[in-house]
Structure 1
Amino acid sequence: MQWDGTAAVVAFSHGVAALAFGLLALALLWRGRRQGPHARAMAAAALATALWAVCTSVAMSVWPDADPLWAVAPEALRTAGWLALLLRLAGAGRRALAGAMLLPVATLAVAAHGDASPLLLAALPLASSVLAMLLVEHLYRNAPQNTRWGIKYACLAMGALFAYDFYLYSDAMLLRRVHPDIWAARGIINALSAPLLAMAIARGPSWTPSLQLSRQIMFHSAALLGAAIYLMAMAVSAWYLRYVGGAWGALMQLACLCGAALLLIIVLFSGAMRARLKLFIGKHFYQGRYDYREEWQRVTRALADDTGGLSERAIQSVAGLVESPAGMLWLQRDDNIYLPVARWNWPLPQAEEREAGPLCRLLAGRGWVIDLPEWRQHPQRYDGLPAPMWAAGLWLIVPLMLERSLFGFICLAPPRTALQLNWEVRDVLKIAGSQAASYLAHRASAESLSVARQFESFNRMSTFIVHDLKNLVSQISLLLVNAEKHQANPAFQADMLETLAHSLAKMKHLLLKLRRDDAPDAATPLRLDEVLMRAIQVHAGSEPRPSLELRAAGLTVLANGPRLERVIGHMIQNAIDATPRDGRVAVRMLVRDGAAVIELTDTGHGMSEQFMREQLFQPFVSTKAAGMGIGVFESREYLREVGGHLHVTSAPSQGTTFRVTLPLHKEFQHGQEQVTGR
């Protein structure tokens, strides 16, 4: 690097800086005890600056053509002094101080190499000046409002020192040489900062040693600093390869740099590496693991976001607190059963948990965040209860408590990096679980209200239909009376009377079914095979034609005949509609575990897991153009009324199986009746 310019100007400028900072250091040392614990640290930085200015001034006065490396060591000492002062004022620990000292040390190491690159010689001091300006800005911005009056001149002075260094070395990197005028004025610019520091000390500022860098700044700064150090090391290695490689040097240099950059990008985008860095920073630089304000805002934003499904967002928001890459959500459904309803990077098991089961009793009674590996190793801590079989490979179970009751729970996979599960982590997970439960409960309430409103609209529509049908019945009755009085054509009149009578009977039946005060259908013992044969006979002309297989005969259930036949007929019709003409629709009846089972299987286009979970049993949701969307919903509700249940298995392009389970009906010899399996 070529250094040119007037030696006398440089010597005078830096001589003024040496005098200014020397006087400042003496004043600080003289009054150090009255100025607080940070006065001595500032005095040491001022002495280092004075030493650097003296060395530069003497070198330019005695040896105008001296090697510029003469001033590198004092300048690195000056930079280290101010960085140490800023980090101490910011309350950083010894680890952060040692990390900041790497830049001045790297500057000395590069300068000690006789053939150092001019670009690298300017880049290292430039990086030091950027770090110093960031620390100055952080110190002032995070200081309490009532203390800024005392520290603002000190922040301006230290900011001016390194802002001018930034200007000097950024210009040097562009031009590959230090501008002589900028270099000559450096001493005077530094000297102007000394009175500002003296004014700040005279005001007796109340420094705040408890100030700390936020976790986000620490994380990004550490990642950026690590990347910079890595790239600098790779650049030096590439330069060395080119230096000793001869004709192959250029190829080896480019390959080394490109490979190093690619490897760095892979590491920076690695979730495991980012998790380890966050854990390291939280463990070694802060008393608490979490920045609660930041985490609470993140969880709330994730749950309130309207993109994607709320269930998946709830899993991700809780998993993000412990760097878990996967999980699933269980919610309470009807009959006090908890079922897996959503997943994130984890398959849903074919399992269920009852409210009276060991897992739900532990979660609801104690409100624990369950550590599954600990449960398996020390079951006595969990009342000796066995861990659920479906939880193999999982790590945590976080309860979703809502008003002291268990609304559901979230299961999380092991984290990307080892994490100690202490009281702080458990408390944060429980709070986030309660927040997620409130959002999920609000969504469920909104969906229930929407369904209720749709039913209310449907009931109003039925009322209007009843009113219109009643008027129509009256008109037709009057028409029949008039027709009987005026029989002009006996044959035609008889045909008309027969048609009208049939229509009248149908409308009267519909009117009775739609009346609000109509009594519920009575349940009677039914031969299930006869009900199935009648339902199959209705669809005998359909394509494909459904088949019936009776693996058990004489099964009797307690239900309303027309309603049960309508439920089975609706499922058969849906299977026919979903199956091509060359497909197959089969109905089987059998006995299993003391209950009657009806299996209806088709080879149609099938349904996805998400559709069955979110839309199949939702009322007023239909994939048919003319459908009302209440058939499957009504079928399931009626089967529950008679003590049965409906289960569906399906897959796209693989067909669907509806499985209806009904309790068998038995009669005692003395006329008493009993329903089993309910």
Structure 2
Amino acid sequence: MSTLLSPASLCFASAAATIVVAIFGSLRLRRGTADWTLVLGLCLFAADRILAAFSLQAATLGDVEAIQQWRVIVLSALPGVWLVFSLTFARVNAANFLRRWKFIWPAALVVPLVLAIAFRQDLFSALYASRSEPWILRLGWPATVVYCILLPVSVLVLMNLERTYRASVGTLRWRIKFMLLGVGVVFVTEVYSTSQAVLYRSITASMESTTAIAVLLAMVIVGRYLLRNSQFDTEVYPSQSVLEGSVIVVLAAIYLLGVGVLAKLVTYFGGDAAFELKAFVLLMSLVLLGVLFQSDRVRLYLRRMVSRHFQRPIYDYQAIWRKFSEGTASAVDPTDLCRAVVNLTAEVFEALSVTIWIANDSRDTLTVAASTSLSTEKASVCTPTEAEIRAVFAHFEANPHPVDIETGDAPWAVALRRWHPIEFPERGSHRMCAPFVRQGRIGGILMIGDRVSGVEFPDQDMDMLKCVTDHVTTRLMNVQLAQRLVQAKELAAFQAMATFFVHDLKNAASTLNLMLQNLPVHFNDPAFREDALRGMGKTVEHMNRLIGRLGQLRHDLNLRLTPGDLNTVVEGVLRGLQNATGVRISREFAPLPAAAIDPEQLQKVITNLLLNAIEATPPQGEIRLATRATATEVVFSVADTGCGMSAEFIQRSLFRPFQTTKKTGMGIGMFQSKMIVEAHGGRLTVTSAPNQGTTFQVHLPTHGK
């Protein structure tokens, strides 16, 4: 065999490729859990291949055994690290999976490694050579246990990669498939090699070539992913279920059962020199079969073939209606509902890009509720303007039917094309848009593009799309009404709780006031007098402040509106503000027209926003205050460089009572601030992202509410 194609050369080549990919990955990716486990896992692969190459070049069998002992130690750490990677890669809810698997992944990391290190000298029970093998190592009981652990952990890695793949659709799947395929290739080979080691209780030199080729191929695929993606910016929400519907589990069970039966038959009939090759071919065949059935193109081809040769319509309407009904029945939140709808729509229409935009109550803002193609960064670039929204809504209110947005230069068509950028222009696939119409008003839109193989939308697709949007409109209305009912009940419970707090705290305040009246009895004790006065004074002040805030929420706000200057209110708050942290506060106030405001109530809003900004901003950070005027509004903004908030917290918790991230907070301030601003006829908006700061804006009408 050529020196370049020798097993040792292949091992060195695969190690070099792995090191290059690890360095490239460490430079391009962010520092999250998935990132560092990827780099660490690649380094372990490289170390494994280097040790395998050294063992193939070893001069004596004793050297082979010593090198392979260290290789088993490296190998024992591999699946645990990659299991953590498979639980976190491309998953928005990665922390939930780590908590759910909190006993499995630490055990997969620690147990094999401890066994391999503690019993390193007992890993192998015998070492010999044969005519076909330069060396064969018989596994001792510690190595056998290690391999028995590595086999199911490798299957779990593949199962989690499959779960991530199946939870992604459209362009999200297109972005991550190379990473999943590359890591999958290596661990399919690991399943093969560890199953052979467990089956024969030995490892051989010939197995190293297969593993080296698999690692080399995997690094090419993973490198392709890293060239395509500079960071893990996908947003996949896999199911929390572990084994349900897993193709990997089924294929692994079939493979292990088949290999076990074949091994018994081979032993019974006297052996088969090519048994290992046949077992590997069986494994690769099962993997290829599973990959084919997950291919969008293969599924589309099969569906068309059935429709063409058996004279069936393109869609089984009853089955699709049942699928949408069952898939959306459990959704109790608009975001969850829209996320289920885009996944189902992408599956039904074989489309890679599906996005739902939902309008707010005033219909002047559209936000991405769910998408298979738009990440958070891309969605921010495509944010619709008010003029675009008016043009699109006017068109659909006059023509509430699905439309092809590729043709025409009308403002609404141009706007829709900007909102839904095409991912594969070379395919020539058309983009479609259908409105959610409720009582003649547009509540949102559904956009579809990038169909597999660039397939167009015939009349049956248009009819199906209309059915889907009608169904989703009804479900969305039901979910929103149910959510409002829940919020009304929460507010009623909150008001009752506020009354309870007020009653109890008033009693406590009265008791403390009595204590203050009796304090002159012990007035001659300076230490007691100082501590008592300070402690009781702070307690009374705190309770009275809390009583005021909670008591106010029991009733509707009664504003005393007078024409006033918002700049004057802000300046008054700043004069009385205690900024003990030393955070720099910059000001940029523009001249403002008079607005109908209640200065006392707005002081509470501004104070709360400023205190929150100061608490969130580190000492070296900055808070920027600004005011400006538009044709109809005056606007006050507070921007900080603090820790920021996630989109999920803003949507679900920020303005709800008793929802807070502060250890000592009660979750009342933002709820109260929003009530005060809305009572003025204004609105309170927020823009934030984790580790990127937060900006609050108070919009107040100049003409009064």
Q: Per-residue CA shift, 1:51-108, capped at 9, x if unaligned? A: xxxxxxxxxxxxxxxxxxxxxxxxxxxxxxxxxxxxxxxxxxxxxxxxxxxxxxxxxx
Residue 373 of structure 2, aligned match among 337, 345, 351: 345
The reply on whether 1:300 has 2:325 as its aligned counterpart is yes
The 1:621–1:467 alpha-carbon spacing in structure 2 relative to 1, beyond 3 Å, is closer
Report the alpha carbon displacement of residue 567 of structure 1 after superposing the two structures with TM: 0.8
The reply on whether 1:396 has 2:432 as its aligned counterpart is yes
The reply on whether 1:575 has 2:613 as its aligned counterpart is yes
Residue 440 of structure 1, aligned match among 473, 476, 494: 476
Instruction: Give the whole-Å Cα distance in 2 for the aligned partners of 1:310 and 1:355.
Output: 26
Instruction: Give the whole-Å Cα distance in 2 for the aligned partners of 1:478 and 1:603.
Output: 46
The amino acid of 2:605's aligned partner reads: V
User: 1:489-508 residue pairs with structure 2 within 5 A?
Assistant: none
Aligned residue number for residue 363 of structure 1: 396
Aligned residue number for residue 33 of structure 2: none
Instruction: Give the whole-Å Cα distance in 2 for the aligned partners of 1:510 and 1:284.
Output: 75
Instruction: Give the whole-Å Cα distance in 2 for the aligned partners of 1:471 and 1:260.
Output: 77
1:520 match: secondary structure: coil
Contact in 2 for aligned 1:451/1:619 (Cα 8 Å): no
1:286 match: secondary structure: coil
The reply on whether 1:328 has 2:355 as its aligned counterpart is yes
The amino acid of 2:368's aligned partner reads: P
Aligned residue number for residue 446 of structure 2: 410
The 1:406–1:593 alpha-carbon spacing in structure 2 relative to 1, beyond 3 Å, is closer
Contact in 2 for aligned 1:473/1:507 (Cα 8 Å): no
Instruction: Give the whole-Å Cα distance in 1 for the aligned partners of 2:578 and 2:513.
Output: 36
The amino acid of 1:309's aligned partner reads: D
* CA RMSD in angstroms, aligned pairs only: 4.7
2:342 match: secondary structure: helix
The 1:260–1:533 alpha-carbon spacing in structure 2 relative to 1, beyond 3 Å, is same
Report the alpha carbon displacement of residue 522 of structure 1 after superposing the two structures with TM: 0.6
Report the alpha carbon displacement of residue 359 of structure 1 after superposing the two structures with TM: 2.0
Report the alpha carbon displacement of residue 588 of structure 1 after superposing the two structures with TM: 2.5
Report the alpha carbon displacement of residue 563 of structure 1 after superposing the two structures with TM: 1.4
The 1:522–1:491 alpha-carbon spacing in structure 2 relative to 1, beyond 3 Å, is farther
Contact in 1 for aligned 2:501/2:550 (Cα 8 Å): no
The reply on whether 1:549 has 2:579 as its aligned counterpart is no
- How many residues get paired? 407
Report the alpha carbon displacement of residue 607 of structure 1 after superposing the two structures with TM: 2.4
The reply on whether 1:372 has 2:372 as its aligned counterpart is no
The reply on whether 1:318 has 2:345 as its aligned counterpart is yes
2:596 match: secondary structure: strand
The reply on whether 1:622 has 2:655 as its aligned counterpart is no
Q: Per-residue CA shift, 1:540-585, capped at 9, x if unaligned? A: 3321435141342465432111211111111112112222223222
Contact in 2 for aligned 1:585/1:603 (Cα 8 Å): yes
Aligned residue number for residue 199 of structure 1: none
Contact in 1 for aligned 2:639/2:695 (Cα 8 Å): yes
Aligned residue number for residue 500 of structure 2: 464
Aligned residue number for residue 651 of structure 1: 689
User: Which blocks of at least 5 consecutive residues in structure 1 are unaligned?
Assistant: 1-252, 665-673
Contact in 2 for aligned 1:325/1:414 (Cα 8 Å): yes
Aligned residue number for residue 559 of structure 1: 597
The 1:618–1:371 alpha-carbon spacing in structure 2 relative to 1, beyond 3 Å, is farther
Aligned residue number for residue 643 of structure 2: 605
The 1:411–1:508 alpha-carbon spacing in structure 2 relative to 1, beyond 3 Å, is closer
Report the alpha carbon displacement of residue 424 of structure 1 after superposing the two structures with TM: 2.3
The amino acid of 1:274's aligned partner reads: R
Aligned residue number for residue 660 of structure 1: 698
Aligned residue number for residue 44 of structure 2: none
Contact in 2 for aligned 1:469/1:511 (Cα 8 Å): no
The 1:341–1:642 alpha-carbon spacing in structure 2 relative to 1, beyond 3 Å, is same
Instruction: Give the whole-Å Cα distance in 2 for the aligned partners of 1:269 and 1:515.
Output: 54
The 1:409–1:489 alpha-carbon spacing in structure 2 relative to 1, beyond 3 Å, is closer
User: 1:192-231 residue pairs with structure 2 within 5 A?
Assistant: none
Aligned residue number for residue 92 of structure 1: none
Greater C-alpha Rg: 1
User: Which blocks of at least 5 consecutive residues in structure 2 are unaligned?
Assistant: 1-277, 423-429
The amino acid of 2:672's aligned partner reads: E
Residue 521 of structure 1, aligned match among 553, 556, 559: 559
Report the alpha carbon displacement of residue 323 of structure 1 after superposing the two structures with TM: 0.8
The 1:619–1:282 alpha-carbon spacing in structure 2 relative to 1, beyond 3 Å, is farther
Q: Per-residue CA shift, 1:317-344, capped at 9, x if unaligned? A: 1232211112221223221334322222
Aligned residue number for residue 131 of structure 2: none
Aligned residue number for residue 217 of structure 2: none
Q: Per-residue CA shift, 1:90-133, capped at 9, x if unaligned? A: xxxxxxxxxxxxxxxxxxxxxxxxxxxxxxxxxxxxxxxxxxxx
Contact in 1 for aligned 2:567/2:589 (Cα 8 Å): no
The amino acid of 1:427's aligned partner reads: D
The amino acid of 1:298's aligned partner reads: K
The 1:346–1:587 alpha-carbon spacing in structure 2 relative to 1, beyond 3 Å, is same
Contact in 2 for aligned 1:589/1:596 (Cα 8 Å): yes
Contact in 2 for aligned 1:325/1:413 (Cα 8 Å): yes
The 1:391–1:623 alpha-carbon spacing in structure 2 relative to 1, beyond 3 Å, is same
Instruction: Give the whole-Å Cα distance in 1 for the aligned partners of 2:521 and 2:287.
Output: 99
The 1:604–1:352 alpha-carbon spacing in structure 2 relative to 1, beyond 3 Å, is same
2:667 match: secondary structure: coil
Q: Which moved more, 1:405-414 or 1:462-471?
A: 462-471
The 1:619–1:398 alpha-carbon spacing in structure 2 relative to 1, beyond 3 Å, is farther
Give % identity: 25
